[in-house]
């Protein structure tokens, strides 16, 4: 009976152990995903010349914490038999991968709000402490066999470094909210300073002035980016050193294992050969993951070794700035977050809270001091090497720089403005090296160049046809009787969409010309919608813009206006006047039916009309206006009518696009450090895409409208009528 039970137990155990190699492959896959995400961050950083390598893909969140928890299954598995060299090495590599991952997580704290930081750091702390406790339990339980525990020293070192990485990350997390408040305050001050400078200058900005303005705000946004500020901090620098040391520990362990066992194929665990895959992907992850922390460490050291950093001569290097401990001090002095009625309990809890937080303040100071000491030692070691390469670079560029200065002085050319005054720094930070500042400015040039390669060629050709903005006032006549007591206002895009619909519905127009106009207006609407969304801050014209968007989908994709086939209308072989009359009648019928059937008092406001009715009212008025002009003018051929409408479209587009400099400026003025860089990038891209358009518009005299008036087509029309 006992023998039967033993056989049954062995059979059950064998069935339970059978899927372990598949679980090992799952662990290896999770490790590979983390490795690829860290590699993607490194690739993106190199590609964008951000050598501090921001965390865009591999960041501290629930997804990657889950993947890391899976990849850490070996260290937390207390019952698996893993005594072979390759098995122990796979366990050690798991701990080292976790340490490397924490080092890569550091800058991503800058992209989170306070609640996200608290939740994610807490989750990471629970995971790390769980791993440490499990490994310690296993060591205690197996203490009789420590003499046979391979890689024991490396395992302990990996545990210590993993805990230190967690301490560094928590220390940085405590600083982030205070740091962001300081940066926001400084950013607002600098925005005001920059805005005041622009008001002193000319109102009409040239392309070169726009380019300089975008660079100015780009420097402000990039240097105040919370991720960049964390990446150049003392704790992140120390974390980079730990990543380098822990990578060397893994390299030593791999080399020693190879020298002792001559192979990486010996395994005694139930994970079988999948242990080799786990070790392989962990090693790849550590190698790729060390790139970002090491480069951040080098970048911070390079700042200190630069000429700007040497001016401080390490003075006050060990000073603890206020922002490192301000949050803990505020928590210490603030009242309890819970409502407790009993005064004795409140006093007891408050008295308990104060010494605990005082202890954490001292720990924070100790961590920051240690991090700064690591940075000083790093500077001392690396300074001769960095200085050597700096001097070599200066020698190579000396002749070129000398010739450039002579050429500039002889030609009397203006040098680029000094953007160093727009760099945002925390207290105690050294000024960024000139090369780093130049790299930041070069990023703007690259974005603008990308925009230049995407310039809308067909739109540019259309804009060249515009005359003196007459089409802005001529597309809708006050002589046309209204179909309703109240008329809906116009936005820029609605008359453009309506005029284009009419143009491609005209008879005897070649398909090539119709397609060209359609493509040109489509390119123009990209800019028009961008301008409308940016300048319509009160969202008064949202419904009018929606009407234009709905109509344009049908016109562009299906050549239909409200289910009326425009291409079929153009092939009926009739005159332009008849086509205009048909479109006008159908539009009038739509508005009249709406007016007759709807009794809701809310619909008395044309801003609340259905989009189909708003579009129909626009079609009715524009068709009637053109028909009135046909009665006054000499009869036009179909081609002549098409050309006339094309010029009218070009006039409206040109008038709208005169707002581009203001939109670029507004994008640059975005008052948010988390989204400022994204907004300035949009402004730089927009400048590149619209550069030739701006050059065309600057060659013509534009009406002297107030910027707030120039944003709306109705204001343009009023101004033109008064001018006439």
Render pLDDT for 56-99 as a digit per residue (tens, 0 to 9).
999 999 999 999 999 998 888 776 666 666 878 888 999 999 99
Q: How far apart are CA 325 and CA 171, in angstroms?
A: 9
Are the C-beta atoms of residues 507 and 579 closer than 8 Å to each other?
yes
pLDDT-based confidence at residue 337 (cuts at 50, 70, 90): low
pLDDT at 174 over 60: yes
Q: What is the pLDDT of residues 110-129, one digit of tens each?
A: 989 999 999 999 999 999 99
Interior angle at CA 444, CA 307 and CA 203, nearest 5: 105
SS3 637: coil
Q: How far apart are CA 232 and CA 236, in angstroms?
A: 7
For residue 604, the model assigns a pLDDT of 72
Q: How far apart are CA 334 and CA 202, in angstroms?
A: 50
Which residue has better confidence, 17 or 110? Answer: 110
Q: Which residues contact 194 (CB under 8 A, 6 or more apart)?
A: 216, 217, 220, 422
For residue 411, the model assigns a pLDDT of 41
pLDDT at 664 over 50: yes
H or E element at residue 111: none
Would you give the distance in Å from CA 122 to the centre of its chain? Answer: 25
Q: How far apart are CA 399 and CA 406, in angstroms?
A: 11
pLDDT at 338 over 90: no
Lowest mean pLDDT among 257-266, 277-286, 457-466, 647-656: 257-266
For residue 686, the model assigns a pLDDT of 94
Residue 681 phi/psi, 5-degree rounding, is -60, -40
Q: Which residues contact 526 (CB under 8 A, 6 or more apart)?
A: 456
Q: What is the pLDDT of residues 395-430, one digit of tens each?
A: 655 544 444 444 434 444 445 677 888 898 888 888
For residue 382, the model assigns a pLDDT of 85
For residue 540, the model assigns a pLDDT of 81
Q: What is the pLDDT of residues 289-335, one digit of tens each?
A: 999 999 999 988 888 776 555 555 555 678 888 999 999 998 888 77
Look up the pTM and report it: 0.84
- What residue segments make up the domains of the chain, in order of their start? 14-178+227-302, 457-658+702-723
Which residue has better confidence, 582 or 2? Answer: 582
Lowest mean pLDDT among 235-239, 370-374, 381-385, 647-651: 381-385
CA torsion 214-215-217-220 (nearest 10°) is 170
Looking at the chain, the whole-number percentage of residues with pLDDT higher than 90 is 43
Strand partners, 564: 561
Are the C-beta atoms of residues 128 and 320 closer than 8 Å to each other?
no
pLDDT at 602 over 70: no
pLDDT-based confidence at residue 612 (cuts at 50, 70, 90): very high
Residue 334 buriedness (CB in 10 A; 0-12 / 13-18 / 19+): exposed
Q: What is the pLDDT of residues 424-450, one digit of tens each?
A: 888 888 888 888 888 898 889 999 999
pLDDT-based confidence at residue 554 (cuts at 50, 70, 90): very high
For residue 79, the model assigns a pLDDT of 67
DSSP assignment of 124-190 = HHHHHHHHHHHHHHHHHHTGGGGGG-TTHHHHHHHHHHHHHHHHHHHHHHHHHHHHHHHHHHHHHHH
Across the chain, mean pLDDT equals: 84
Looking at the chain, the whole-number percentage of residues with pLDDT higher than 70 is 84
For residue 281, the model assigns a pLDDT of 93
Residue 340 phi/psi, 5-degree rounding, is -120, 125
For residue 17, the model assigns a pLDDT of 60
């Amino acid at each position: 009976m006992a023998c039967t039970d033993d056989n049954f137990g062995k059979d059950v155990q064998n069935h339970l152990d059978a899927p372990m190699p598949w679980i090992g492959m799952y662990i290896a896959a999770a490790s590979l995903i983390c490795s690829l995400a860290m590699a993607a961050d490194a690739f993106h950083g190199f590609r964008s010349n951000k050598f501090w390598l921001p965390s865009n893909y591999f960041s501290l969140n629930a997804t990657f914490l889950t993947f890391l928890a899976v990849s850490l299954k070996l260290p937390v598995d207390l019952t698996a038999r893993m005594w072979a060299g390759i098995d122990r090495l796979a366990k050690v590599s798991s701990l080292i991968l976790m340490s490397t991952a924490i080092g890569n997580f550091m800058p991503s704290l800058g992209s989170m709000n306070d609640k996200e930081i608290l939740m994610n750091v807490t989750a990471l702390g629970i995971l790390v402490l769980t791993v440490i406790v499990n490994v310690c339990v296993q060591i205690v339980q197996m203490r009789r066999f420590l003499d046979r525990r391979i890689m024991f020293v490396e395992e302990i070192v990996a545990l210590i470094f993993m805990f230190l990485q967690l301490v560094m990350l928590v220390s940085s997390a405590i600083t982030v909210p205070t740091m962001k408040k300081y940066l926001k305050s400084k950013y607002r001050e600098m925005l005001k300073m920059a805005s005041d400078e622009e008001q002193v200058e000319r109102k009409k900005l040239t392309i070169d002035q726009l380019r300089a303005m975008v660079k100015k705000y780009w420097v402000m946004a990039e240097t105040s980016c919370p991720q960049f500020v964390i990446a150049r901090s003392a704790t992140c620098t120390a974390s980079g050193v730990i990543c380098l040391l822990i990578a060397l520990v893994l390299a030593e362990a791999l080399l020693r294992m190879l020298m002792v066992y001559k192979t990486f194929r010996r395994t005694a665990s139930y994970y079988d050969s999948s242990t080799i895959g786990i070790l392989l992907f962990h090693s790849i992850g550590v190698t790729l993951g060390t790139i970002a922390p090491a480069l951040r460490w080098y970048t911070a050291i390079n700042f200190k070794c630069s000429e700007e950093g040497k001016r401080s001569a390490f003075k006050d290097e060990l000073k603890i700035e206020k922002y490192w401990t301000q949050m803990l001090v505020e928590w210490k002095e603030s009242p309890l977050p819970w409502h407790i009625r009993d005064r004795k309990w409140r006093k007891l809890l408050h008295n308990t809270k104060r010494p605990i937080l005082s202890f954490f303040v001292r720990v924070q100071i100790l961590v920051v001091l240690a991090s700064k000491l690591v940075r000083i030692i790093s500077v001392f070691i690396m300074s001769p090497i960095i200085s050597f390469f700096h001097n070599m670079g200066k020698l190579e560029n000396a002749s070129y720089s000398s010739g450039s200065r002579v050429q500039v002085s002889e030609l009397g050319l203006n040098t680029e403005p000094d953007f160093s005054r727009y760099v945002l720094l925390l207290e105690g930070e050294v000024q960024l090296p000139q090369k780093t500042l130049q790299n930041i400015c070069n990023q703007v040039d690259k974005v603008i160049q990308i925009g230049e390669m995407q310039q809308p060629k067909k739109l540019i050709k259309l804009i060249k046809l515009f005359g003196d903005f007459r089409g802005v006032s001529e597309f809708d006549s006050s002589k046309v009787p209204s179909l309703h007591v109240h008329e809906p206002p116009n936005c820029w895009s609605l008359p453009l969409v309506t005029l284009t619909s009419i143009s491609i519905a005209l008879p005897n127009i070649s398909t090539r010309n119709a397609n060209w106009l359609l493509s040109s207006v489509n390119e123009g609407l990209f800019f028009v919608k961008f301008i409308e969304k940016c300048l319509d801050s009160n969202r008064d014209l949202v419904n009018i813009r929606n009407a234009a968007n709905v109509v344009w989908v049908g016109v562009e994709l299906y050549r239909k206006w409200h289910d009326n086939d425009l291409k079929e209308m153009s092939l009926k072989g009739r005159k332009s006047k008849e086509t205009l009359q048909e479109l006008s009648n159908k539009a009038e019928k739509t508005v009249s039916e709406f007016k007759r059937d709807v009794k809701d008092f809310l619909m008395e406001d044309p801003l609340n009309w259905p989009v189909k009715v708003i579009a129909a009212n626009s079609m009715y008025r524009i068709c009637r206006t053109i028909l009135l002009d046909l009665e006054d003018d000499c009869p036009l051929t179909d081609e002549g009518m098409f050309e006339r409408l094309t010029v009218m479209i070009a006039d409206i587009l040109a008038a709208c696009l005169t707002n581009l400099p203001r939109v670029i400026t507004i994008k640059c003025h975005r008052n948010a450090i988390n989204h400022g860089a994204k907004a300035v990038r949009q402004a730089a891209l927009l400048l590149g895409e619209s550069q030739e358009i701006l050059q065309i518009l600057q060659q013509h005299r534009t009406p002297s409208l107030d910027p707030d008036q120039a944003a709306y087509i109705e204001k343009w029309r009023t101004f033109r009528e008064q001018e006439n």
